[in-house]
Amino acid sequence: MGILQFFHDVFGMTLGPKDQDPMNLSDIARSQIGTQEDAAHTNKGAAILKYQEATNLDGQGWPWCAAFVDWCVEQFLEEAPNPALKRPQTASAYGLLDWGRANGCRVFTGNDKILQAQPGDIVVYTFSHCGIVSKAPDGGFFRAIEGNTNPDGGRDGYEVAERLRALSLVMSFIRLP
């Protein structure tokens, strides 16, 4: 019996994402590190198709960083259902901001005086790229797990990898409710 079922059976409580360990979303992302697209690096391949199928676009051949985030959130919500939260289905990094605002998520900047990014937050960068925070900011930098990146940290790469990023590159963070 899982912990969610235990709380439901014993206490009559249904726990949602806000009641879960905030690391859960970053753990899902971390489990995908090393996943790569086809050898030609054309935003295609069986390994990344599952991410692209999590969006509202058909086919392959398009940048998939937001698709990776969509898929991670979809997996998270399967583990900890929250009827009030619709999963994202956007293929656009900036589209995640609209999704977050429409779904009661906290959307905040990297220089917010009250909220600080934490593992499990979604990050949207100023250069039309996104990922999931894996390590909280320290000294102006944080770590994020991103799809469609490369060893140089580009936004149109070929793999899922963890990257060190500067807070100055952040447009917004998104925290699930």
Domain residue spans of the chain: 22-175
Judged against a pLDDT cut of 70, whether residue 12 lies above it is answered with no
Judged against a pLDDT cut of 90, whether residue 9 lies above it is answered with no
| Contacts of 98-102 spanning 24+ positions with Cβ under 8 A | 100/172, 100/174
Q: What percent of the chain is modeled with pLDDT above 90? A: 77
Question: How many other CB atoms are found less than 10 A from the CB of residue 113?
Answer: 7
Would you say domain 22-175 falls under CATH 3.40.50.300?
Answer: no
Q: Which has the closest alpha carbon to 144: 45, 20, 98, 155?
A: 155
pTM over 0.75: yes
Helix residue spans in the chain (DSSP H): 3-11, 23-30, 46-52, 65-79, 95-102
Contacts of 34 (CB under 8 A, 6+ apart): 159, 160, 161
Give, for 111, the enclosing helix (H) or strand (E): none
Output phi, psi for 152, to 5 deg.
-85, -5
Give 61-99 pLDDT, tens digit per residue: 999 999 999 999 999 999 888 888 999 999 999 999 999
Give 99-110 pLDDT, tens digit per residue: 999 999 999 998
Chain position carrying tokens 């899982």? 2
Judged against a pLDDT cut of 50, whether residue 140 lies above it is answered with yes
Contacts of 159 (CB under 8 A, 6+ apart): 34, 35, 36, 37, 148, 149, 150
